[in-house]
Amino acid sequence: MELRKSVCGAILVSLLFGSVFAANVPKSVRDRVNQLFKGQVKILSVEKTPVEGLYVVFIKKGDRVGNIIVSKDGNYVVLGRLLDLSNPDRPKDVIFEMAKKKGYLKPPKPKKVDMSKLNLKDSPRIGKKDAPAIVLYFDPTCPFCKKELAELREMEGKGEIAFYPKYFIVHGKKARDIAEEAECIRESLGKDAYYDYILHGKKPKKKPKCDRKAISKRIDRDIKEAKSLGITGTPTWIYKGDLYVGYRPKSELKRIIDKGEKGKVK
């Protein structure tokens, strides 16, 4: 009983979405699911994942949808994401993609932010002056941050958007060191060298020159600013006073920006 309560509690508190895949489900998995959730949540479905022996369970309570992963024998439960790393530079969230296909994902409404609390005057901007601007808070070692940054790079290269790179370090000293080096490269050698380093770890042949103390102070300011806005994870981005949490594919970025620009970005 206590195990069931703790597992259900952890799922409902921590998960924002779930997803689905149709398949024959072993009795051991069904029994475990019924044992854990009977009478507490609505079981939307139990589906086979692309990984042999793993099944995803989609549950709903109120307007919240969550998921867990259960082993074929029903003896192991995993709370968290299932990532496809066949392309390490652009990891794919398997559960997220399944959710989209089944229509379980309903993006939460963005939080409203007072733009006057953001220091953009003293922050770097990448992209054309007249392009719609996004403020991106990210950790350079976060895989979904890199994925988001890659999307922004492509859109920025086409002149569709501009963005302010701001740092919210959640993965310790290594992430901080990468952020400081990336900013030094950007200031000294330009955005292409910056992208190559921060997305692919490619160091420039020419040694960058910059004011590292000033960069460190700016990153400290970014972190303090993010906390003042209530940001707790990455990537988080802001567009026209709306704050969005988590990775958004290019199609969704375009939809949101196009709505704000009244049809200019399709």
Instruction: Name 135's Cβ contacts closer than 8 Å, sequence gap at least 6.
Output: 118, 120, 163, 164, 166, 237, 238, 239
The predicted pLDDT at position 39 comes to 65
With respect to residue 266, please indicate whether it lies within any of the assigned structural domains.
no
**Interatomic CA distance for residues 165 and 215, integer angstroms:** 12
Find the domain containing 62 and state its range: 2-102
**Comparing C-alpha atoms, which of 104, 121, 91 is closest to residue 43?**
104
Query: Given this model, what pLDDT does residue 17 score?
Result: 32
Compute φ and ψ for 199, nearest 5 degrees.
-90, -35
Tell me, what CATH number does 79's domain have? 3.10.450.70
In angstroms, the CA 54 to CA 76 distance is: 9
Domain co-membership, 73 together with 132: no
Residue 176 is predicted with a pLDDT of 97
The pLDDT value given to residue 10: 43
**Domain match, 144 and 198 both:** yes
pLDDT at residue 108, rounded to an integer: 65
Mean per-residue pLDDT over the chain, rounded: 83
In a domain, 57, yes or no: yes
Residues 52 and 183 in one domain: no
Taking only the tens place, the pLDDT of each residue in 151-160 is 999 999 999 9
Three-state DSSP state, 265: coil
Share of the chain above pLDDT 90, in %: 48
Does residue 44 carry a pLDDT above 60?
yes
Quick: pLDDT tens for 96-118: 888 777 777 666 678 899 999 89
- Looking at the fold, whether 166 and 81 belong to one and the same domain comes out as no
Out of 79, 102, 125, a domain closes at: 102
Q: How confident is the model at residue 215 (pLDDT cuts 50, 70, 90)?
A: very high
* Main-chain phi, psi angles of 182, to 5 degrees: -60, -45
CATH of the domain at 163: 3.40.30.10
**pLDDT score, position 40:** 74
185 vs 196: CA distance, rounded Å: 10
SS3 content of the chain, % helix, strand, coil (to 5): 40, 20, 40
pLDDT, tens digit, 9 for 90 and up, residues 181-204: 999 999 999 999 999 999 999 999
Indicate if the pLDDT at residue 3 is higher than 60.
no
Residues 165 and 190 in one domain: yes
